Structure 1
Amino acid sequence: MAVFWKAMAGGLLLTLSLTLLGWGVEGQGNGRGKKEVSGGATVYLGQDRDIWRPMIYTTVNLSEIHSIKSSFQLRTFDPEGAIFYGDTKNGQDWFVLSLMGGIPLMQISREDILISVAGGPKLNDGKWHTLEVSHQEKFVVLEVDGSNRLEVGMQSKQTQEILVGELRLAVGGILINKEKMIVQFEPQMDGCVREGSWLNLSIPWEADVEELWPCYQNIQPGSFFAGTGFAIFNTSVFPIEADHVVKTELWGDFSKMDGTILSINVPGQEMIFALVANNNTKEVTLTFGEEKLSMNDIFKRLVITFETDKLQVFQDEDESKTTKLSFAGSHPGYLTPWREGRLAFGGLLGKGEDDVGSHFLTGCLEKIQIQGRDVDLDLAVKHMSISSHSCPA
């Protein structure tokens, strides 16, 4: 995908495009310590790296650009993240395309103009959507699936110059200081781009990773854990209601999970709470201090309520499968870790910096809620192997 500004016939020429085609990625070294990849590669935007760093990037001479229309496909369940960046004049004029709240957001800086515009349909429904960006006289036009249009008009009072030099393009990140943007957003996106038509150019792209991660052919909503890391929150971000109850709800096929689903502890102390799945025995075990509960029935939803003097576990909201753990006099109390602890999804918390975690989860949590609100793992300190918004289907 590419964006550039160029004076032509007294107007603004803005081109956005992307060349991403096929599931496989073939690459080779280019002698500069970079990974060279085909411009037709499918790119997973959530691959492990610094969150603002582009996934792939390239540079092209402006004199080689003749097309003013580009298109590509995007698929994601993620409501927010960077899709594409382009600039001229080494970053003085730039363009950023992202999603925010699932809706396309374009931000443009050119000479004395700084514009932000959002609109169109929500795109984070897990389906492939075709986006086309073109320059039509003084307007930049974004079309979604051939009909929904978002238009931006731009006209500078300054004398327009004929641009020469290079155009920098990047997918999945930006090449300027993020503070220059009008609208700030979380850049990492759990999504894929493919099948781009990019300025009719065939120049190679570069990546700083050894291999590009593949995109799954089919996906479903959820958070996928690959067995190599977890997501951590301070429990203080989840408020305890006036009734002194904390309600945690987990959805998924627990019989297909393996590893620690959820753990809670207070730093420097022994593990207080752990929920662990065993794929071999098809058993889910809940441990709270010295108390232990094993569940081997097939279920798709687990509700755990923490109260001052008891902990209750519901399977599929079936009252006949409700288990209550009562408060013991020597126990610190079921709500204590929620006031001063750490919570991890997908791994067993360690005691400190030298013992970060272990027994990581492999599997899909289709939905996570605490106090009736969806939990977004993008807001946690998490391992980059975790897909926050999609699982393979």
Structure 2
Amino acid sequence: MALLGKAMADGLLLTLGLTLLACGARGQGNGRGMREVSGGATVYLGQDRDIWRPLIHTTVNLSEVSSIKSSFQVRTFDPEGTIFYGDTKDGEDWFVLSLRDGVPLMQISKDGMFVSVAGGPKLDDGKWHTLEVSSHGKFVILRVDGSSGLEVGMQSKRTEEVISGELRLALGGILIDKDNMIVEFQPQMDGCVREGSWLSHSVPWETEADELWPCYPNIQPGSYFPGAGFAIFNTSVFPVDTDNGVKIELAGDFSQMDGTVFSFKAPGQELTVALVVNNDTKEVTLTLGEEKISMRKTVKRLVITFQTEMLQVFQEEPKLTELKAISLTNPGVLSTWREGRLAIGSLLGDGEDNVGSHFLTGCLKKIQVQGKDLDLDSAAMRKSVSSHSCPA
């Protein structure tokens, strides 16, 4: 595999892809079932859709493009996700820019060659970072905040051809099969882009969404639930230690929450375990069958451990102390966990298609299951949740 030389039609595929990020946040119909989106606005990439489907896309004629340098700003706490995609020849040659482990990842397919390069500074710190992409001969260069980030070149033995025809562009997703990716990554991106300077072209972009979601002016780390969102996991993906049981840890300002923080339930079983915040009573209540434990909404952190015959609850207010330890009259908690579903942000109902009710409004700054951070992007079902950021 050659790694040096001719770069994506002299870099146009990469730099043209950045034009898409000039999309605005409101659109008008174009008569094709799509909405046209104007340039210049801030765009939120985490809007609900199929996880690989672009949020916005467009097609431009290569003969109408003159500039080969573009720049934009990106802000995210999300370490992984798609930023933009571009291709020529109906997807035969393509380029993808994403984040993985917080750093830029570029993947390129050109004339049957495949290259992936990752590196540069971590960008998942919640600050605005300026990215500049340009073409210099056979090389494509990514600069981050004015400093060198990545440099990619591709050398082919084929006779260099003049690329013509159309270039497809997409923001927040790709237009080819995901199996073509050289490096696997989680495509969903909880992040924003703004202040794009995009080549010399101003064709309208298109979106299937009725209206694009806004970006919050200021954000903080966490997972935000707006009162209609949830993330559901199959509990079989979490290991269970019979001796130590199941441990769930949560942190956040519970005084600013309302609704179901989490619940888990197994199909066909009556037992439902749920943690609910009630604004009317100013209480946080853990319900486990007939057992109920109530605490004040001023709590900042909870550590809940379910064992075969024991339930332990620790709360931090402001210091982590044991609130209660009780013997369980219902021994079926662990079997419910092994066979069930865990919902973050909703009260599960009966049936696998029932996503629940009594949805959470508020920010969870920390969600851990069995001692590991829970990434909501990996949920079996997810809707209307900002997985890595909350409004500040």
Report the TM-score when normalising by structure 2: 0.93
1:237 corresponds to which residue?
Answer: 237
**Displacement of 1:391 after TM fit?**
0.8
Query: In 2, are the aligned partners of 1:19 and 1:40 still within 8 Å (CA)?
Result: no
Give 1:148 deviation, angstroms. 3.3
CA distance in 2, matches of 1:237, 1:46: 24
Secondary structure class of the residue paired with 1:167:
strand
- Whichever residue aligns with residue 49 of structure 1, its letter is R
In structure 1, runs of 5+ residues without a counterpart are none
Aligned to 1:90, the other structure's residue is in SS state: helix
Q: What is the total number of aligned residue pairs between the two structures?
A: 384
Aligned residue type for 2:225? F
3-state DSSP class of the match of 2:39?
Answer: coil
Shift of 1:219: 0.7
Q: Confirm or deny: 8 A CA contact 2:12 2:68 kept in the other structure.
A: no
Could you say if the C-alpha distance between residues 252 and 12 of structure 1 is closer, same or farther in structure 2, counting changes exceeding 3 Å? Answer: closer
Aligned to 2:3: none
Report the alpha carbon displacement of residue 232 of structure 1 after superposing the two structures with TM: 1.3
Q: How many Å apart are 1:63 and its aligned residue?
A: 0.8
Alignment of structure 1 residues 240-251 onto 2, 5 Å: 240-241=240-241, 243-251=243-251
Equivalent residue runs for 1:1-393 within 5 Å: 5-6=8-9, 14-16=14-16, 17-18=18-19, 20=21, 25-241=25-241, 243-296=243-296, 298-316=298-316, 318=319, 322-328=323-329, 331-353=330-352, 355-393=354-392
Counterparts of 1:12 and 1:259 in 2: how far apart (Å)? 49
> In the superposition, relative to structure 1, how do residues 223 and 134 fare at CA in structure 2: closer, same or farther (>3 Å)?
same
- % of aligned pairs identical? 70
Answer whether contact 2:28 2:36 (CA < 8 A) is retained: yes
CA distance in 2, matches of 1:392, 1:144: 25
For the 8 Å contact 1:19–1:41, the answer to whether it is kept is no
Deviations 1:104-156 (A, max 9, x none): 10011111321111011111111111111111122111111111321112111
**Displacement, 1:351?**
1.2
Letter in 2 for 1:188: Q
Q: Which moved more, 1:231-240 or 1:142-151?
A: 231-240
When structure 1 is superposed on structure 2, of 380-389 and 252-261 the one drifting more is 380-389
Distance 1:262 1:51, change over 3 A: same
Structure 2 distance, partners of 1:111, 1:388, is 37
Q: Secondary structure at the match of 1:214?
A: coil
The C-alpha deviation readout for 1:337-381, integer Å capped at 9, x for no partner, is 222222111011111146441111111111111222111111112
Q: Tell me if the contact between 1:13 and 1:68 (Cα under 8 Å) persists in the aligned partners.
A: no
Unmatched runs of 5 consecutive residues or more in structure 2: 1-6
Q: CA, structure 1 residues 320+196, in 2 after alignment: closer, same or farther (shift >3 Å)?
A: closer
Q: How far apart are 1:21 and its partner, in Å?
A: 5.9
Residue identity opposite 2:164 in structure 1: V
Moved over 3 A (4+): 11-14, 18-22, 317-321, 353-356
Shift of 1:164: 1.2
- How far residue 236 of structure 1 moved from its aligned partner, in angstroms, is 2.1
Q: Which amino acid aligns with 1:276?
A: V
Q: Secondary structure, in 3 states, of the residue corresponding to 2:25?
A: coil
Structure 1 window deviating more from structure 2 (227-236 vs 257-266): it is 227-236
> Partner letter of residue 48 of structure 1?
D
Partner amino acid for 2:344? F
Report SS of the residue matched to 1:94. strand
Secondary structure class of the residue paired with 2:220: strand
Q: Which amino acid aligns with 1:360?
A: F
